[in-house]
Amino acid sequence: MGFYLTEFNPLMDSAVCASGSFSQSLFLGANSWAGASIMALLASAAVLAFLYMLATLLQNQSALANVRLELYEFAVTAAILTVVFLLLNGMCSVKTSWVYPDISSVNPDWADKSMYYSSTNYLMQFADYTLRIMSLQYVAYMFIDWVTSMEISSTPMGIGATLKPVSGLGSVFKPVLNNAFSAETIGVVTTEAQVYVMDYGSYGLLKYFLPLGLVLRSFNVTRRIGGTLIALTLVFLFIYPPLVILTYAPVNASMLSTIDYFKGAYGAGVIGASTGLWMFIQFAATYLWGPDFLFAYALATMPAAAKIFFGAVFMPLFNTVILVTTARYLSKALGEEIDITNLTRMI
């Protein structure tokens, strides 16, 4: 159920949260995301053990003190990995309906899905909705172009006049539609970019950058950059998907009040098919002329414009502010403070 034509299966849902994948990945070795993280932690432990034995053999007390400090940081890193495993297992277990209870009445197909699945499919649904609005605008553009190109010519024996009574309407409507096409194209591109950044970015950070961050954080020289990589992974895994899910409510509620008003104003309630056809003919004959046409057109298009503005401009900017702030303070706690503004600028 939904507007989008093709179901999107995110990597985080199919490769991480699928039935048994989380527990099985712990025993698949370095080829799995969990196995790679554990192997990275074991490699760090092996290096620290070698340094400890070397310092003991050389009776270097300063080196022994440094290695003991590194062992403490290694224990902290192992605790961080354990917390990541627990949180990720929780994210895979938590259903979308637990976070957004009204999702069952809006889109029941997402109620029992993980937030990784629902967040990416919501964005794909929104991109497809925007494409459908663009298709309707294209039809409107064709109609306006046909109307404005109408020409009345009466020139018997070369004497007379050629009239274009509605040619001036083109200069009013066409720039608006052209600008709308441009804005909606950007909205589609940025929305689908969010999908692939969330999907491939989250899985790539989990499988490749999290193990690298664990290794780097186990040693004093590279601890800051390691903590930064871990913080960036946590933001994309546990902050980004819930933010997108919470975006669903205000974006999809933007059409309800106007549509209800439209139905009430023109009597388009729950009626039979024959009565509905008669009311449509009456509406077309009564209101689709003169200034009432502009009112009806605005009444039909403003909800879609509000939804696209909320979904493609306002809410992504709001989410970006939260992501940047969270990444900055989380990276400051785990390593070195970072600013991911450049990474999220396309949103």
Question: Residues 6-55: pLDDT tens digits?
Answer: 678 888 777 777 655 555 555 554 457 777 788 888 888 888 888 888 87
Angstrom distance (rounded) from CA 313 to CA 251: 11
Phi, psi for residue 183 in degrees, rounded to 5 = -65, -40
Of 195, 191, 197, 189, the C-alpha closest to 340 is 197
Of 254, 33, 253, 17, the C-alpha closest to 118 is 17
- Residue 271 is predicted with a pLDDT of 45
Angstrom distance (rounded) from CA 188 to CA 308: 9
- Residue 98 is predicted with a pLDDT of 79
Angstrom distance (rounded) from CA 67 to CA 250: 53
- Residue 14 is predicted with a pLDDT of 75
Q: Which residue has the tokens 């009040």?
A: 257
Q: Which residue has the tokens 């605005």?
A: 298
Flag residues of the chain having pLDDT under 50.
Answer: 1-4, 29-30, 258-259, 261, 266, 268-274, 347
Q: Are 188 and 311 in contact (CB under 8 A)?
A: no
Residue 346: strand, helix, or coil: coil
Angstrom distance (rounded) from CA 11 to CA 8: 10
Q: Are 251 and 107 in contact (CB under 8 A)?
A: no
- Residue 2 is predicted with a pLDDT of 43
Angstrom distance (rounded) from CA 318 to CA 314: 6
